[in-house]
Amino acid sequence: MVTIKDIAREAGVSPSTVSRVLSGKAKISPETTRRVMEAIEKLGYIPNASAKSLVMKKAYSVGIFMPRKLEQALTSTFFDQVVSGICSYINNTEYEIVLSIVPPEKEKESLERLIKSKKVDGFILLTSRINDYAIKYLRNLKFPFVLIGSPDKDKDYVNWVDNDNKKAAFDATEYLIRLGHIQIGFLGGMENLVLTQDRLSGYKSALSKYKIPVENQYIMFTEFDEQSSYEKAKQMLMLPDRPTAVVCIDEVVAYALIRACRELDLKVGYDVSVIGFNESIFSKLSSPRLTTINTNVFYLGYYAAEMLIKELEEPYKTYKRLIVQHSIVEGETCRAI
């Protein structure tokens, strides 16, 4: 292994001079700098991260934290996209990414370990729940983090990046209303997710704007997986007075509904209009193409990473938030009636 001492010897200087050249924070003569750089190049020297971390009291790593059951079927391509966005930004920094996906019961232990062992300098949280444990824990410790999603409360005291989910659901619902739908259903995810609540709220306010009464029987929640999505979808379609259009919180939920339609001999886009969220590669490829809200998941990740790194480099005086735009992508699953 080649250490800073080897470089020092090779360049005929002291280790601290090598350190100074590397950090660039001190005045070093051009000649010395050249000799040091040559030695580094020649020996292929890269500083030992642990040693640096130990003295700098910094890990130069950020954690991606996602509490969820591992064995559970996965919900869409959200994870792929958001992680890609995060990597895309982090790759241009000196930080590494530590990935932690743990079942909810290990959440506390896992966070504590990463923080106290100083493995990471900050976190990107991939989910926001009502009364979120991770958020509370990190806020309490004043440990740096950025939330992807909106906090359920204290919105001004957390750094976060999110879509305007209320607006997005409002837009989706209004889109259906303008197509003439009045009986509109809402298929959400877990009720304890802020995402579900926000989109539900947008859905309701669109109905309200057009003086359409909210029917509780038209509102259902799923576990974001295939099984429960399909069951709830079927349940909704078998209501005596079933909705003519449904806002689905996720593409998995949307496809479950489409599947249920097919089982019940209902024609998607005719008997039932469907709109989803989080455009993925499947939305474009499915037949019929799914009408969906593109939430630019990649950029949720990208900007969250940027926000976290900037916070680490120079702590904000105040908390930041960022809204990533969404847009409707018209497919073939919605029709005027």
The answer to whether residue 285 forms part of the interface with DNA (CB under 7 A) is no
What is the pattern of x (binds its own copies, CB under 8 A) and - over residues 99-118?
xxxxx--x---x-xxx-xxx
The answer to whether residue 91 forms part of the interface with its own copies (CB under 8 A) is yes
The dihedral region occupied by 127, where left means phi > 0, alpha psi between -120 and 50, and beta the remainder, is: beta
298 in Cβ contact with 81 (< 8 Å): yes
Q: Considering CB distances under 5 to 8 angstroms, the limit depending on partner class, which of its own copies, DNA, none binds residue 219? A: none
Site for its own copies in 255-274 (CB under 8 A): 255-256, 258-259, 262
**Cis? peptide before 288, omega within 30° of 0:** yes
Site for DNA in 44-103 (CB under 7 A): 45, 47-48, 51-52, 54-57
Q: Which of 19, 81, 163, 197 is the binder for DNA (CB under 7 A)? A: 19
Q: Considering CB distances under 5 to 8 angstroms, the limit depending on partner class, which of DNA, its own copies, none binds residue 16? A: DNA
Strand partners, 129: 193
What is the pattern of x (binds its own copies, CB under 8 A) and - over residues 312-331?
--------------------
152 residue type, one letter: D
What sign results for the dihedral spanned by CA atoms 65, 68, 71, 72?
Answer: negative
The answer to whether residue 291 forms part of the interface with its own copies (CB under 8 A) is no
* Packing angle, helices 165-178 and 194-209, rounded to 10: 40
122 in Cβ contact with 60 (< 8 Å): no
CB contact set of 120 (below 8 Å; sequence gap of 6+): 59, 61, 62, 63, 98, 114
For its own copies, the closer CB: 32 or 269? 269
The answer to whether residue 40 forms part of the interface with its own copies (CB under 8 A) is no
167 residue type, one letter: K
Radius of gyration (C-alpha) of the chain in whole angstroms? 25
Q: Which of 9, 28, 33, 47 is the binder for its own copies (CB under 8 A)? A: 47
Kindly state the tokens that stand for 151: 């906090």
Rounded Cα distance, 182 and 169, in Å:
15
Task: Specify the stretch interacting with its own copies by CB under 8 A; choose among 92-100, 139-147, 152-160, 212-220.
Answer: 92-100
Rounded Cα distance, 245 and 334, in Å:
8
Contacts with its own copies, residue ranges (CB under 8 A)? 2, 44-51, 53-54, 59, 61, 64, 70-71, 73-77, 79-81, 83-84, 87-88, 91, 96-103, 106, 110, 112-114, 116-119, 225-226, 230, 252, 255-256, 258-259, 262, 280-282, 284-287, 298
Contacts with DNA, residue ranges (CB under 7 A)? 1, 3-5, 12-20, 22-23, 25-29, 31-33, 45, 47-48, 51-52, 54-57
